[in-house]
Each structure stands twice: as C-alpha cells, then as structure tokens.
Structure 1
Amino acid sequence: MRQGPLAGRYPAVAAMVILALIPYLALSAAIDPLVPIITAQLHMSVQTMSLSSGLGNAAYAVGTVLAVQFAQHLPQRRMLLAYAVVLAVGSVVAASAVNPAMFIGGHVLQGLATSMLLIAAAPPLTIGFPKEKLRNTAVIMNMCVFGAVALGPFIGGAQAESQAWRPLFWIIAGIAVLALIMAALTFEDAPPADLDAPRDLPAIGLAAVGCAAAFVGASQLTTHGFGDAAVTLPMFGGLALIVVLVVYQFRSRRPLLTVRTMLTSSIPVAGVGVALFAAAASVAATALTANVLLQTYSPVHVGLLYLPELGGAVVMAVVFGIVITRRAMHYLPLVGMVLLAAGILVFQVALPANQPLVLLAAGLTGLALGATVAPALFVAGFSLQSNSLQRVFAIIELFRAVAAFMVAPILAHFATTVSIDLAIGTSYALWIGFGLAVGGAVFGVAVYALSGARPQKPNLDEFLDGDDPAWHSPPLLARIRPGVSAAPDVPSAVTAPAVGAPDVDVEPTGMVLIAYDGTDLADFAITQAAARLGTGCEALVVCVWQPVDVGFSPTDEQHFDADRATEVRGAAERTAAHGADVAREAGFVARSVAVEAVPTWKGIVAAADDHDASVIVLGPHRRSGLLGHLQGSVASAVVAHTERPVLIVPQYQDVS
C-alpha cells in the first residue's frame, strides 16, 4: 500500500489520534442525561440501556487484548485503518438505530474500536517521533482521555435540553469518519511486530468471556439486588476469569501481555495501582454527585456546573507535558490522589445543591484526573523498554476499564439502596471514594518505600532508542525481600583508563574479558582493545542477557521470543559467538559465553570474577549534548563494583 500524503507528519498523526479517541470516551460520559430520551424513542427498558453500556465497556476492555494480538501477526498500520472503519461504522449504526439491537450493536463496535485504536495509535505517537514532541504527546493523551470525559456531562446535558439524542450521535459519527479520513491520509505501512509470537487464543477467550460476564453482571444492578444470582454469578465469575487471565499470563512462557515484568517491578506496580484507585474513586466524585444534582437542576445546568472539571483537566495536561521530562513526573500521580480526595470532601459539603462548592469540587476533580491516570500510565511505561509500551498501555487500560466502569454501577446501586434519601446514600458512597483516593496515595508511596524506588529523571534518549527503560525500577518489595538488591544501575564517575588517553598503558597478565552486546560500538571496542593490549592475548567474549528485556542486539536475523528464556539464551549465545569471531579477526585467542543476569553489570562483574580476568573491556553507549559527557550506566556500575582494571572505549567513529 502507498503511504498517505500526510504520513510521518506529527500534527496530522496527532489529529488522527485525537479524532479517534474522543467519540466513544466523550459519549460514555455524556449518555446519562440522554437515557430517558433514548429508552423512550427506541422502546427499550432502562435495564436494556444499562446492558448496552455494560457491553460497550466490556468491548472496550477486550479490545486492548485483541489489539496486542493482532499487532503481532498483522500489518499494524493496516489494522489501525481497519479499526477506524469499525469505529465509523459503529457510530453510524448507533446514530441511525431504529431498535435496541442496532443501538447496542453500534455501541459495542464503538467501544471495541476505540480501545484498539488507542493501543494501535498511541504508542507510535509516543515513540515514533523525536523526544521534543513527547511533551505535546503527553498533553494530547491526557486531553483525549480525560478532557473528553470531563466535557461529556455538559455535552450530554445540552443535548438532553432539546429532548433529542440523535444529533449528538451523528456528530460523534462525523468525528469518527474524520478519524478514518485522517488514518488514511497519515497511513504509513508497518510490518507485524513479531510473526513468531504465539497466537494466544486462551488469553483472548479469558479476556472476552471474563469482561463480558463481569460487565453484564454489574449492569443487572439497575433492576436486581446485589445478592441476586443474576448479578453475583456473572459479575464475580467474570472477575475470577480476569484474575485467571492475569495468573495465566504471569506464568506463561510466551505471554501475550507483559504481566510478569510489570507485576514484579516496583514502579510499574505503583503506577498501575494508582491508576486503578484513581479510576475507581473518580466515579464517586462525578457520576454519583451528578445524579443528586439532577434532582434540583436541569441537565444542561448540571453540565455547566461540571465544566470546571474540563478546565482542571486542561491545566493538569499542560503541567504533565512540562514535568514528563523531569523527576517531578513521579510526584504528579500522588498530587492527583490528594486533589481527588480533596474534591470528594468538597462534594460531601456541597450536596445536595451548593453551586459554588460544586464548581470548586469539579475543578479539583478535573485537576486530579489529569494528574493521575495518564501520568501513572507513562510512569509505568517508562520503567520498561519502549518496545513494550503497546503492551503496557493494553494492560493498564484493561485494568482501568474494569476498575472504573464496574465500580460505577456498584456504587450507584449502593447509593440508592443504603438510604431512601439519594443525597444521604451518595454521601456514604463518597466516603468510599474518599477511602479509595487515600488508599491509592498510600499504596503508591508504600510500594516506592518498600522497594527502594526513587524518583528519577527519565533518560528519554535511551528509552526512545529502545536500548533501555527511561529509569531503573527495583524489584517489587526489594527492601524487605532477602537477597534482592534495590540498587539502581545509574551513572557514576568513571575513573578507569579509556582508549585515547595519552598516558594509558595496559599490559594484561591473564585473560581479557570483553563485554559484548552485538552493536557496532562493541565491535569497535574489540578492535581498539586489540590495538591497545596487543595480539595473541586470551579473550573471553561475554554477552549478558535476560528474558523480556533481552539486553543485547542480536547479530543474526533469526526470530526469537523475548519472553521465552530458552530462545533468548540461544540468541545470546549466537551473539557472543559472533563477538568471539570479531575478536579472533582482531588478533585475540577468543572464546565466548552467554550469561543471564539483571542488571547487565552484575553479569559482567561475575564473569570477570569467575574467570579471574586481568582486565575488563567495555564500549559504553553515549549520547550527544550533555549526556554525551557521560560514559554509560553499565560501564559506571562495573567500575564501581570491581577492583579489576577496566578499559573503556568511549567513542565509536565510523571510518567506513
């Protein structure tokens, strides 16, 4: 397929992402005031309408898993175009619905396509452009998700004022068609991510059945009690299947989702946890309070009272764009949870009808939403390599959808049944939301403290190059687990002699250990080491590897699954053998070995100790600008943890 005329242009790609995500997310927040109108015109019950929303939300959750699977085996950008077609078709079907089946079918297609577009389009926008664009991407992602949601109540209220629902749905359909047009104009063909990846039908089945059952069960709370089998069996059965999905992916040798990596590393666990708590708590702060206000004010009036939520989301989106390159990014979700707790407390005082306090509470909630979920998503994503970003987004959106969309009907049912006075019942529910907000803040701080994690400035050069995560994330609970180190692999002063220093004279008295990662810089380090140390020396070429993150650049084109340790080990052994060939050509008497270790410096130091190396040779990666003056975090850590001489080749020069 030919490229679109706007392919590779950031403004056009960003516009496509905005148009793709806004329709369903805005509609999901705008639909509540329209329920009486839709049910009357389409002759459907309130329970059927609740089922429609539940199935749409379930489709949104399942779409995250499907998008990851399709990306492995099908051309990614062609699939993005297909998802845009589904969104447009679903929006048109919903807008033109003449019966409940058409409406539900269109709404389900909207939810499914939106999450698949999010997984397919957002990561390329994040890592496919220079880091200077990352600030803009952060603002766009925040506004797409939470700006649209914050604007929803006003849009829905304004439409409900005219006693019609189709005009809004046709506008949504028009935006979806524009998204399709932009997807075609920005089309840039891309191959599948990994043709050797497994087709994980059990994971897809567990996600589909689990989400559908859980959301259908929750939707039954509109007309059934919490103890009814029609509620408990599907809801708890579905949640159990989602738990089985997580355990299955955690234990799988070749998982579709990187659950194991995320749930064993401290910063991703903190980020995911905060996002879930925030998503659940925000329901109490918005949807429930709106129901109380609708008893006093018209839908459009209530929508106006919630407009400060949009303003808060805009302000915090800009703040997020500023701090995404700074250490302060780690603190933003915590600030958001505090603001969310404060907003819920103000809502407590504002109900049933104190307009100034409602405006203040809405503003605090908007600030909180902008500071929590999207920043927490990036905090988790930066803790892994950039090629994992799509799967990170998928996991977080799957969990967030379950937390947010399932908690809403549960808390709504609680508010209406705990007291005959809706305002009093909602007040009780708000205390639950307050507890979730405080619990989320405590959870995030506790994970950092017990794991030895610390706020760090992200190394975006390493992250966007795909070499390493943006920062070090210690193992989960490293400080209280015996034998687990929380020490980060961070740059420190390198005092070892480097190639090019005029007074360096290294004379090895034993084996030379050469750390090799398969890059051109590593080849250059070998040849320079031979020139410095002399030919005829015995050399051991070591390639350090680890599953999932790999840790090296394969020197052949043989496919392997990064989540499968045996395949990564084989690729590492081939890479090390290639390095030994390069060493022999340079004049060494060389052999090779692959070593599994995390972080990389530990494997290098351990191999040097095991083989009593007389000198360690390293070729650290460098960056331009200020970062170019640093020698590299692995080299720094090796120097800091060994008493053996370390020869560093600090600069690769292409002499071809």
Structure 2
Amino acid sequence: MRERGPLAGRYPAVALMVVLALTPYLVLSAALQPVMPIISQQLHMTNSQINLAGGLANAGYALGTVLSVQLAQHLPQRRLLVVYATVLVIGSVLAAAANGPALFISGHILQGLCTSLLLIAAVPPLVTGFPPGKVRPTAVILNLSIFGGVALGPLIGGIQAEANGWRPLFWIIAGIAGVALLLVVLTFQDVPPAEPTATRSPVAVGLASTGCVAAFYGATQLLIHQSLDASTLAPLTGGLALIVIMLIQQDRTKRPLLSVRPMTSTLPVAGVVGAMSAAAASISAIALIGVLLQDRFSPLRLGLLFLPEFAGAVITAIVFAAVFTTRALHYFALAGMICLSAGIAIVAASVPPSTAVTLIGTALIGLGVGASVTPALFIAGFSLRNIALQRVFAIVELLRAVAAFMVTPILLYIATTVSSRTADGIRTGLWVCLGISVGGTLLAISLYVLGGVRPPTPALPRWFGGDSAWHSPPLLAALRRRAGGSPPETPKA
C-alpha cells in the first residue's frame, strides 16, 4: 500500500489545495505595483532593485513550467509537491520578513518559481485524476481562482498601500502558502514518476533557464534605464532567441521533454495564439491604465476602479460552466477576445478616461480575459491525449508568461518615451494592446478557416479513455486540399 494522507482522493480538499497553492503569487503579482514605493523606502531598495525583484520572479515563473515537467518524469510527483509547497512557504516568509534587498528579492523569486512548479505539477492531476463529472467544476475553479485572483490584486494592493504598509499583505500570502502546504500533506497520495525511462533533457532546461532569465532581465533593464542600448537589447533579444531555439529543438528531437510537435496542428496553435495575445494585451492594458490614473486617484480608489475586472471574471466562470462541454466553447473564446478588444478600445479612445469609462473598460477586459485564456488552454489540451496534458499545459503557460510579462515592460517603455506627454504615450501603448488583441483574434479565426475546422464538441469520454477529445487537422489543411496537395498527418502526443 502506498502512503496516503487522510484527505487523499477527496476532490474538495485537492481542489482547495490547488487554489491556495496558486493564488498567493498571482494575487501578489497584480497587487505589488501600489506598494512598491513603500517597500522601496522601508527596505532601502533602489528602483533598479525593486524592478529586478519583479522581473526575476516572473522569469522564475516562466522557467518553472519547463523544470516541473522535467522533474516529474523521474521523481515521485506528489513528493515533489511537498517540496514545492515547502519552498513556497520559505520564500514567502523570506519576502515578508526581509530587512533588506537580498532577502526580499530571493524570497520573491522563490514565490514565482514555486508557483509555476506547483501549477504544472498539481493542476493536470486535478483535471485527469478524478471522474469526468469533475472536469467541469475543475475548469471553472481554475478560471475563477487564477484570473479572479489576478483581478483582485490591484484592489488588495490599494488597500494595503492606503494603510502605508506592505508586510501584512506578504504575511497573509505566507499564511495562505502555509495552509496550501498543510493541504498538500493531508491530500498526499504517493504516485510514481510519470516516465522514469524518459530521456533527460538538460539542453531544453538549460535553454529555458538561460532564455527566461536573460529575457526578463533585459525587459527589467528597459524599464530602469529607459534606453535601447546594448545592455538592454542583448539580453532581451538573446533570451527570446534561446526560448525559440528551445522550442525548435524540442520539436525536432526524437524523445522530447515538451510536446511541441503534436501541438502544431490547427486547434492547439489557435488556442496558443489566443492565450498569448489575450494575456499580453490584458495585462499590459491594465498596467498602462494603472500608470495613467495613479496620479489622479488614491491607491484604494484606483483599486476600486479595477474591481469590475473581478466581476467580469466571476461572470465568465459561470458561463464557462455552461459551455465547457459543448462546441460553444470555441465561440466563447472568440467572444472573450472581442470583449477584451472592446474594453481596450473604449479606454484608448478616451485617454484620460473618466471614471465611468474606466469602470466599463475594466469590466470588459475582465470578461475578455476570463472568457479567452482558460478556454484556449482547454482547446489546446482537448486536441491531444490527456496523458500529455501536463506537457501541453507547460508549453501554453511558458508562452503565455513570456507574452504577458515581456510585452508589459516593453509597452511601458514605449508609453514613457514615445511622447513628451505621458498620456499620449499611454494612448499609443493602449492602441498597441488593441492591435495585439485584434491581431490574435483574426489569426486564430484564420487558422480555423484555413484548417477547414468547424468548431467540434469535445468528446470527454473518449478523452478520459486515452484518446483526443476531437480531431485537429494539420495546419492549413483546407488550403492544401484546394491546392491539390495532401496535408501531412497530425502527429500524436
């Protein structure tokens, strides 16, 4: 008999564990902006150091997606969860108790790294490890907890900044991480490594590690120095190039760590395009709006202006439950991209926006991101066998994190340098966000059309039986048929 905790196999306890493991850093990433000046003052941190903490924490989050898959192949996965949750608690305590830059930066990096390690290790088993009837509430819980947590971040940060403090927020985050660790232990169910005979992939992990750290460091330097010199462009472009090389290497290797090749058919590519463009556009737009309005409103009032974003996330979670197992899942993702584009356009056309315009814009952005990113993830996941979900999730989260956390500092740089007036620069940045959102939407639609895809209904029994939930034709399959060629077979995961 394998070791089991007293709550092992209990769906509510396992689902709560996943939510509490993911939300601390996701909330903190959105709540950090209002309290950064207070942290900087009390810990005697320079602007360079405070931005470096955020940039390297985001790099850790991106890197953890690849590292988690590698470790899961060769080591017992649930034991790894205990290690990840323990280190998350340690990192959270270090950040909360920090008396100087070194401890704070180290703790915050561990928070970012361990959150993605937990995400990739814990979420796929929650989806596939319970009966098919649980997959719908699981999808809704993930959608609401991830995007709801991010949406609440500005308000939580505003409340803390209004009290002229930051440690209470970080100690609460540490407490939540501690409860998550307790639930990891209580729900423990020892399981073997995913694939002990799998080839180790030091090249992929090395490329991902170097690429993420370099790219996010370069993006951070862009904000700090406000100049496009070699010290900024070299790590930024070099890091992105290494990430692309890693994906190409994984596509061509015989025994890859990440399921890149099976992801190159119509529906997974459309899903990844949707998730990346929605994440990049929404997070950048919210950051730009925050910078635009920070001098007009107190941190608390500014946080309240972003509260409709959370309401949008709640509404989309409810609708998501209704459409999740139908072909309307595809149209739901499309509607989300349209709402996201509309929200950005409304604010961009009214810079500086009134209170009413800001409330409407953030509500539409919340509806948009909640209805697009998670549905796009499942559109990609349903196209492959469920055994590949962990690797699919890792690819999507890596690309989503790079898109979201890399585009934001670039657009903030544009907003502060393209014009002598900050409002004009931010307007330009918001129009770029709109271009990313609309461009991603049109590209995803084009992939459906050129692939000859009519939105299918997911066959969940077949997916849980080990096959894909639907057939995803090769890229440009319809175009190739019209040209008289035979499209290649879609690779199997």
TM > 0.5 fold call: yes
Name stretches of at least 5 consecutive residues in structure 1 with no aligned partner: 488-545, 550-656
1:277-356 equivalences under 5 Å are: 277-356=277-356
Mapped partners of 1:244, 1:441: distance in 2? 26
Deviation at 1:547, TM superposition (A): 6.7
Confirm or deny that 1:417 pairs with 2:417.
Answer: yes
Residue 198 of structure 2 aligns with which residue? Answer: 197
Contact in 2 for aligned 1:345/1:434 (Cα 8 Å): yes
Contact in 2 for aligned 1:447/1:476 (Cα 8 Å): yes
The alignment's C-alpha RMSD in Å is 1.3
Determine helix, strand or coil for the equivalent of 1:331: helix
Residue 513 of structure 1 aligns with which residue? Answer: none
Residue 104 of structure 1 aligns with which residue? Answer: 105
Letter in 2 for 1:403: A
Residue 161 of structure 1 aligns with which residue? Answer: 162
Mapped partners of 1:91, 1:485: distance in 2? 51
Letter in 1 for 2:255: R
Residue 634 of structure 1 aligns with which residue? Answer: none
Mapped partners of 1:547, 1:320: distance in 2? 29
Confirm or deny that 1:275 pairs with 2:240.
Answer: no
Residue 74 of structure 1 aligns with which residue? Answer: 75
- CA displacement 1:137-182 (0-9 Å, x = unmatched): 1111111221111000000011000111000000000000000000
Q: Percent identity?
A: 56
Contact in 2 for aligned 1:333/1:372 (Cα 8 Å): yes
- CA displacement 1:518-551 (0-9 Å, x = unmatched): xxxxxxxxxxxxxxxxxxxxxxxxxxxx9744xx
TM-score by length of 1: 0.73
Letter in 2 for 1:471: W
Residue 642 of structure 1 aligns with which residue? Answer: none
Deviation at 1:2, TM superposition (A): 2.3
Mapped partners of 2:327, 2:91: distance in 1? 42
Contact in 2 for aligned 1:348/1:427 (Cα 8 Å): yes
In the alignment of these two chains, the number of paired residues is 489
Letter in 1 for 2:479: I
Letter in 2 for 1:258: S
Mapped partners of 1:122, 1:317: distance in 2? 17
Deviation at 1:197, TM superposition (A): 0.3
Deviation at 1:25, TM superposition (A): 0.4
Contact in 2 for aligned 1:87/1:110 (Cα 8 Å): yes
- CA displacement 1:20-62 (0-9 Å, x = unmatched): 0000000000000111101111111111111111100000001
- CA displacement 1:427-447 (0-9 Å, x = unmatched): 111110111111011011100
Confirm or deny that 1:483 pairs with 2:482.
Answer: no
Residue 468 of structure 2 aligns with which residue? Answer: 469
- CA displacement 1:244-294 (0-9 Å, x = unmatched): 10110011011000011102x110000001111111111332110111111
Deviation at 1:317, TM superposition (A): 1.2
Contact in 2 for aligned 1:334/1:441 (Cα 8 Å): yes
Contact in 1 for aligned 2:271/2:376 (Cα 8 Å): yes
Deviates more, 1:328-337 or 1:346-355: 346-355
- CA displacement 1:371-419 (0-9 Å, x = unmatched): 1111100110000000000000000000011000011111001101111
Residue 42 of structure 1 aligns with which residue? Answer: 43
- CA displacement 1:300-342 (0-9 Å, x = unmatched): 1000010000000011011112111001001122111110110
Determine helix, strand or coil for the equivalent of 2:225: coil
Contact in 2 for aligned 1:311/1:366 (Cα 8 Å): yes
Determine helix, strand or coil for the equivalent of 1:227: coil
Deviation at 1:353, TM superposition (A): 4.4
Determine helix, strand or coil for the equivalent of 2:365: helix
Mapped partners of 2:319, 2:488: distance in 1? 30
Confirm or deny that 1:215 pairs with 2:228.
Answer: no
Deviates more, 1:295-304 or 1:222-231: 222-231
Mapped partners of 1:81, 1:547: distance in 2? 35
Letter in 2 for 1:302: L
Residue 23 of structure 1 aligns with which residue? Answer: 24
Mapped partners of 2:382, 2:188: distance in 1? 27
Deviation at 1:350, TM superposition (A): 4.1
Residue 61 of structure 2 aligns with which residue? Answer: 60
Mapped partners of 1:53, 1:223: distance in 2? 12
Contact in 1 for aligned 2:144/2:314 (Cα 8 Å): yes
Higher strand share: 1
Deviation at 1:345, TM superposition (A): 1.2
Contact in 1 for aligned 2:347/2:353 (Cα 8 Å): no
Higher helix share: 2
Contact in 2 for aligned 1:143/1:317 (Cα 8 Å): yes
Name stretches of at least 5 consecutive residues in structure 2 with no aligned partner: none
Change (3 A) 1:388 1:44: same
Residue 643 of structure 1 aligns with which residue? Answer: none
TM-score by length of 2: 0.97
Residue 143 of structure 1 aligns with which residue? Answer: 144
Mapped partners of 1:384, 1:34: distance in 2? 42
Mapped partners of 2:426, 2:26: distance in 1? 24
Deviates more, 1:6-15 or 1:317-326: 317-326
Mapped partners of 1:260, 1:342: distance in 2? 34
Letter in 1 for 2:216: F
Deviation at 1:224, TM superposition (A): 1.8
Mapped partners of 1:486, 1:354: distance in 2? 53
Structure of greater relative contact order (alpha carbons < 8 Å, 6+ residues apart): 2
Letter in 2 for 1:122: V
Letter in 1 for 2:319: V
Change (3 A) 1:486 1:337: farther
Letter in 2 for 1:135: R
Mapped partners of 1:136, 1:183: distance in 2? 20
Contact in 1 for aligned 2:85/2:118 (Cα 8 Å): yes
1:485-634 equivalences under 5 Å are: 485=487, 548-549=492-493
Contact in 1 for aligned 2:51/2:224 (Cα 8 Å): no
Mapped partners of 1:281, 1:230: distance in 2? 26
Contact in 1 for aligned 2:96/2:174 (Cα 8 Å): yes
Determine helix, strand or coil for the equivalent of 2:65: helix
Mapped partners of 1:216, 1:486: distance in 2? 40
Mapped partners of 2:277, 2:351: distance in 1? 23
Letter in 2 for 1:164: G
Residue 51 of structure 1 aligns with which residue? Answer: 52
Determine helix, strand or coil for the equivalent of 1:31: helix
Contact in 2 for aligned 1:35/1:46 (Cα 8 Å): no
Residue 185 of structure 1 aligns with which residue? Answer: 186
